[in-house]
Chain A
Amino acid sequence: MAYADTSEARGNMMHTVKPPKPSRLAAAIRSGSWLSLLSIALYFAIWFAITRDGLALVRPIKFPSPAMVVDAAFRTADLIPGDILATLLRVAIGFFSGLVLGLGLGLAMSYNRKIHYFFDPLVESIRPVPVVAMIPFFLMWFGIGEIGKLVLITLGVFAIVVVSTVEAVRNVPKIYGLAAQTLGATKFQLFRTIIVPAIVPGLVGPLRVAAALSFTLVVAAEFMGANAGLGFRILEARRLFNTDVIMLGVVLIGILAAVVDMLIRRAAAYLTRWSDRAT
């Protein structure tokens, strides 16, 4: 009876004795994480197999082979860093603006009923409209400069984040708010110390979706016209039927999106280290 309580908890403590750490390779084999590498290898194998490098089942102009893409990368090597930088900057600025605005308005709407009643119709009318449908207006309003591109991404991210924030606040168990109030927290302190940390796990999914959307929108934005960026490069290559460069652009965007997603997951894992979310 005396030890049942604590021994169980000690077993859960992170700094208790652990079995010797197995090598990364052994761990990867045991956990099955090597299957991710296998699936990537399979994609490449199939790509090889059906294109010119392998069985040549499709015409190179319609579907360039891996070798052609590598060749395109060497041919356009001097342009790639600038394109990556231009695209990443637009994504970063648009994503963070949308995140800050969405979080801010979502929290404000949850904090005050009147703010909620005022902004809810606006948010609900913007949300179901695909922002890409607004591109013609964006061109008229902002021209083909940076502002229009950033507003497009910001708006897309904002629509996801604001709704997710309001819903995440609703999902915070009432008991935490009650406990904080009976311990003397003001409403503002309640938001800062209870609501904000409690909604983080619920926002991880929406933020990953919003980041992926940012890449879709940045390409759409660069299609409207630009002088650098991966989307712009794809559009340029299309004019000249350089499908190998198009495919290169697609691969690079995919890699960037995957890296950004991984960074978000890393940050989320740190911010939610207190929760028993599955890792």
Chain B
Amino acid sequence: MTGPTPDGMRGQPPERRRATAWAWPSDGGGRAGGSYAPGLTAAVPAGQGPAMPDLAAGRLYRAVSGVDGEARPMADAERAELHDPLAEVFFRHGRFPMSSRELLAGLDGAGAVPEQSVFLVSESGQLPPPAAPGLHRDIRYAITRAERGRIPDLLISTGANSDPDTTFLQVAAWDAQAGHFNYYMRIRPAWVWTGDSWSALAPASRGHGCFDSHVNGSVVMKELKQPWIHWQSMAATIRLAPDDPLRGDPLYGQVAGAEQLETTVKALVGRWTDARLAKVTAGGTVDRPDHLLRQLFTSTTVNLTSTSVQSATVRADGDDLVLPIGFWLNGDALLDDLGLPVASAPPRVPAALYLGSLSRFGFRMQERTSGFSQPGDTFFAFLVPEAAREDNDVVHRMVLAGIVPAKFAAAALMVDFPNPVYSTDRARLMAYVPTAPTPAAALADSVADAITTAARGLPQDSPEARFAEHWALADDAWPTAFAARVDTYLGRAAARTGTPEGFDDLTRLAESRRRDFRSRKLNEFELTLPVTDIPADAPRLRMNEDATVTTTAPAPVTQGATP
């Protein structure tokens, strides 16, 4: 993959996020070399994004990547369909704020969505400024605006340590009337509507433009859970030089902890999921079952998780590390949502083994764009991708709404459960999911029947046979049966984790999963992940139920693809 260039901007200012990771081939980041495409990157890969002719001031354009070849002014009828706060406060009245300050002041002036919260994020935010004086720190604000006592309707993303007039300014705005988010960005001297939540699901635009990150149409906070790595939170403060001008920014004085944004984002994801499910199952028929069930059988996207331990404070004789649960299995779905009565404790890793792995595998934080390199792991230790909240939320709410039974979801997720992300085995089951409208009441049975029928002619260890075995369990037996397997697995994992060979395997497995993540557009910044000496072309790895780690097939590419 070659990094995107500003070609698609065609003379427009590069008001885009500085996605440094996109500037390099997806080689895992572990080796020197690669062809760097200099300059700021566009939010849309070259050749996929709409062209941006000279935009006229005071106009709202439409430019949906993968759909529109070129930005064009929105027609009056199209604009009339927009009922989010940004459209109603500004665009409907011919107002086009050119900076975040103007935007926030305009909302204040109109008394619209008055409750404001400000958050701060930077992948380089924990690096000591004196140690990296030349590093462009890419600090961003996430600003939410809500009606009093309600969850936010506007989410604003903009550069914090850049010129507010020229840095990127992007908005996700909830349209309560339509029940979806509208996505906008300012391209001076105008604003551009880049699609809505449904654009993320439509084959032509899926995975393109802003939907490379908003993969399923909802808002995104990659590092959603404690310790909210990269975010300012109660777990860590983004480090600024004493004379950093950001300290004087009024918005900086309002920054709240990411723990607050976690609850907000979870609620916003849930709101969109509910609206989406209501629409696609109206009348008792599921329009595109594959669009829903790919969020069960595949990793349409991921979140990032880590231990809560600052890597630099780990001492060989210190406390054991509790690796993130999402590394071992999809605990959010299997344990929290589906309620498997698991009794195990999270496996722990001796600190000395973790420390040894850092030197043995050459862990470092590295940004080739600037030439920065520093030995060691990410600020919080052991960062890995985990199953995405937005995938789990769809599954959870499908179960709650009775679209599929809990056993169906569990039977699917228990296939290859030690690999909570990028599982080729689970992804294979997508072949049995209908793409045509299907009665909701028959959906689970039709998919299960197709899989169990296929399983009869396949080996016992095939994903189909494993699903069929799960599906055959009695309704009152599957929770304890699955929980027993998880407990056995975690017991074995705890034992292997305590050995040097076992932990080296985990380190390689974690890097294998990080490499899969690097190939996704969600990986915007080089400093999101650590770099190791593990070769970029090392075989992909998988965890087995006996807690051994072996090689596996290439990861399924699901983002942007429509089965």
> A and B bound?
no
Chain B residues near A (Cβ < 8 Å): none
Chain A residues near B (Cβ < 8 Å): none
